[in-house]
Amino acid sequence: MDGTLLVSYIILWALVVVLSLLVFALARQVGVLHERVAPAGALMPVSGPKVGEMTEVMSLTDLNGQAVMVGGADAEGLATLIMFISPTCPVCKSLVPTARSLVSHEGKRMRLVFASDGDKIDQHVAYVRDLDIENYPYIVSQPLGLAYAVSKLPFAVLIGSDGALKSKGLVNSREHLESLVESMDSGVASLQDYVEQHRSDIDESITGKAS
């Protein structure tokens, strides 16, 4: 009986050692995979104006009846972040404070404009009041959305102070919004493009860590 128990203990300890080695190997592979994953930037559609192109100047009116110029070079030298949102979009509501925080963090080099469409103006007025964004331009314009090929929300467009389209895409988080600013600052259309351009350096770095 004692011999049988001893054999059982040896087998159990052997299994523990094997499982520990497997867990260690799996953890190491997860770490390598994590380094290979490209940064999650805004999903940029292929339709609509291309990044780097000059944007069309559009003279629009916000909910307060104030004229708002969108596109083209900005007279005050500010970049323009256009957030396309909707009263029927739950994600939009949660992302509005994030957009406000991001633009505030960027200081005096960027302005924030909200945009939507639809003919229920009273609904938009209540929406603006609920989100506490009365101090920001809120434009209800279908042509504006069509101009930038907005098909899903929330969607953001970043126009440089020179009037060129710097970045655009479907945004669902602060990281997505920040990726638009990073694209403008780096001059690269998207973070995915940046990773592809530097893929060899990343692979060498991963190889060095693995060896």
Average pLDDT over residues 14-43: 65
CA angle 47, 83, 93 (to 5 degrees): 120
Question: Order of strands across the sheet with 79-84?
Answer: 138-140, 110-116, 79-84, 155-159, 165-170
- Which residue type occupies 7? V
Secondary element (H or E) of residue 69? strand 67-70
Output the pLDDT for position 13.
Answer: 80
pLDDT tens digits for range 39-85: 455 666 667 899 999 999 999 999 999 999 999 999 999 999 999 99
Which is more confidently placed, 207 or 56?
Answer: 56
Residue 22 pLDDT > 50: yes
Residue 32 pLDDT > 60: no
pLDDT-based confidence at residue 17 (cuts at 50, 70, 90): confident
What dotted CATH number matches 58-195? 3.40.30.10
Residue 37 pLDDT > 50: no
Structural tokens at position 136: 């920001």
Residue 97 pLDDT > 80: yes
What does the domain layout of the chain look like in residue ranges?
2-40+199-210, 58-195
Residue 4 pLDDT > 80: no
pLDDT tens digits for range 121-169: 999 999 999 999 999 999 999 999 999 999 899 999 999 999 999 999 9
The answer to whether residues 85 and 96 touch, using CB atoms and an 8 Å cutoff, is: yes
| Least confident piece of the model among 67-71, 102-106, 112-116, 203-207 | 203-207
Residue 35 pLDDT > 50: no
DSSP 43: B
Give the phi and the psi of residue 198 in degrees, each rounded to 5. Answer: -115, 25
- Beta partners for 58? 70
